[in-house]
Amino acid sequence: MNDESGTGQSGTGLPAAGRPVSVDAAVPGGLASTQASAAATVASRSAAERIDTGALVPTFGIIGAAFLDALGRVSGQRATALDALAARHASTSARATNAAASYDCCDDANAGALAAGVPA
Protein backbone atom coordinates (compact mmCIF):
# COMPACT_ATOMS: atom_id res chain seq x y z
CA MET A 1 0.00 0.00 0.00
CA ASN A 2 1.46 3.34 -1.03
CA ASP A 3 1.42 6.22 1.35
CA GLU A 4 -0.30 9.49 0.55
CA SER A 5 2.98 11.38 0.07
CA GLY A 6 3.61 9.83 -3.34
CA THR A 7 7.08 8.69 -2.32
CA GLY A 8 6.29 5.08 -3.15
CA GLN A 9 7.08 3.93 0.36
CA SER A 10 4.85 1.39 2.02
CA GLY A 11 5.53 2.66 5.54
CA THR A 12 7.92 -0.22 6.19
CA GLY A 13 11.01 1.36 4.69
CA LEU A 14 10.72 -0.97 1.70
CA PRO A 15 9.70 0.01 -1.83
CA ALA A 16 5.98 -0.23 -2.42
CA ALA A 17 4.76 -3.19 -4.45
CA GLY A 18 4.90 -2.66 -8.18
CA ARG A 19 7.64 -0.04 -8.01
CA PRO A 20 10.93 -0.81 -9.74
CA VAL A 21 14.02 -1.17 -7.58
CA SER A 22 17.19 0.39 -8.90
CA VAL A 23 20.67 -0.53 -7.68
CA ASP A 24 23.77 1.42 -8.63
CA ALA A 25 26.39 -1.29 -9.06
CA ALA A 26 29.21 1.14 -8.24
CA VAL A 27 27.94 1.84 -4.71
CA PRO A 28 29.08 -1.40 -3.00
CA GLY A 29 32.51 -1.06 -4.62
CA GLY A 30 32.74 2.55 -3.50
CA LEU A 31 31.77 1.56 0.02
CA ALA A 32 34.44 -1.15 0.01
CA SER A 33 37.07 1.35 -1.11
CA THR A 34 36.05 3.91 1.50
CA GLN A 35 36.11 1.32 4.28
CA ALA A 36 39.52 -0.01 3.17
CA SER A 37 40.87 3.55 3.25
CA ALA A 38 39.40 4.08 6.72
CA ALA A 39 40.98 0.82 7.92
CA ALA A 40 44.40 1.93 6.67
CA THR A 41 44.03 5.37 8.28
CA VAL A 42 43.00 3.94 11.65
CA ALA A 43 45.74 1.29 11.52
CA SER A 44 48.38 3.97 10.90
CA ARG A 45 47.02 5.99 13.82
CA SER A 46 47.19 2.87 15.99
CA ALA A 47 50.85 2.42 15.07
CA ALA A 48 51.51 6.05 16.01
CA GLU A 49 49.91 5.47 19.43
CA ARG A 50 52.47 2.79 20.27
CA ILE A 51 55.29 4.70 21.90
CA ASP A 52 58.45 3.41 23.53
CA THR A 53 58.24 4.95 26.97
CA GLY A 54 61.53 3.28 27.88
CA ALA A 55 63.33 5.79 25.69
CA LEU A 56 61.88 8.57 27.85
CA VAL A 57 63.25 7.25 31.17
CA PRO A 58 66.43 9.37 31.03
CA THR A 59 64.30 12.47 30.53
CA PHE A 60 61.76 11.76 33.29
CA GLY A 61 64.05 9.93 35.69
CA ILE A 62 62.94 7.85 38.64
CA ILE A 63 60.33 10.42 39.66
CA GLY A 64 58.56 10.15 36.30
CA ALA A 65 58.59 6.33 36.18
CA ALA A 66 54.99 6.04 37.42
CA PHE A 67 53.86 8.58 34.84
CA LEU A 68 55.66 6.73 32.05
CA ASP A 69 54.12 3.45 33.19
CA ALA A 70 50.63 4.98 33.10
CA LEU A 71 51.34 6.60 29.74
CA GLY A 72 52.47 3.27 28.31
CA ARG A 73 49.34 1.48 29.55
CA VAL A 74 46.96 4.16 28.26
CA SER A 75 48.71 4.31 24.89
CA GLY A 76 48.57 0.52 24.65
CA GLN A 77 44.86 0.43 25.46
CA ARG A 78 44.12 3.12 22.88
CA ALA A 79 46.19 1.30 20.27
CA THR A 80 44.30 -1.92 20.99
CA ALA A 81 40.96 -0.13 20.57
CA LEU A 82 42.16 1.41 17.31
CA ASP A 83 43.32 -2.01 16.09
CA ALA A 84 39.82 -3.37 16.74
CA LEU A 85 38.26 -0.44 14.87
CA ALA A 86 40.63 -0.94 11.92
CA ALA A 87 39.68 -4.63 11.85
CA ARG A 88 35.98 -3.72 11.74
CA HIS A 89 36.57 -1.31 8.85
CA ALA A 90 38.57 -3.98 7.00
CA SER A 91 35.82 -6.55 7.62
CA THR A 92 33.16 -4.16 6.30
CA SER A 93 35.33 -3.54 3.24
CA ALA A 94 35.70 -7.27 2.59
CA ARG A 95 31.96 -7.87 2.97
CA ALA A 96 31.13 -4.96 0.66
CA THR A 97 33.60 -6.32 -1.91
CA ASN A 98 31.92 -9.74 -1.70
CA ALA A 99 28.48 -8.15 -2.01
CA ALA A 100 29.57 -6.19 -5.09
CA ALA A 101 31.00 -9.32 -6.70
CA SER A 102 27.83 -11.29 -5.92
CA TYR A 103 25.62 -8.54 -7.29
CA ASP A 104 27.69 -8.22 -10.48
CA CYS A 105 27.67 -12.00 -10.97
CA CYS A 106 23.90 -12.30 -10.55
CA ASP A 107 23.20 -9.17 -12.56
CA ASP A 108 25.35 -10.41 -15.45
CA ALA A 109 23.75 -13.87 -15.32
CA ASN A 110 20.24 -12.43 -15.35
CA ALA A 111 21.11 -10.00 -18.15
CA GLY A 112 22.36 -12.96 -20.18
CA ALA A 113 19.16 -14.86 -19.53
CA LEU A 114 17.08 -11.88 -20.62
CA ALA A 115 19.20 -11.41 -23.73
CA ALA A 116 18.56 -15.05 -24.64
CA GLY A 117 14.87 -14.30 -24.56
CA VAL A 118 12.13 -14.32 -22.01
CA PRO A 119 9.92 -17.42 -22.20
CA ALA A 120 6.31 -16.72 -23.06
* pLDDT tens digit sequence for 42-96: 999 999 999 899 899 999 999 999 999 999 999 999 999 999 999 999 999 999 9
The residue type at 51? I
pLDDT of residue 3: 45
Phi-psi domain of 61 (left: phi exceeds 0; alpha: psi -120 through 50; beta: other): left
Q: Which residues contact 83 (CB under 8 A, 6 or more apart)?
A: 43, 46
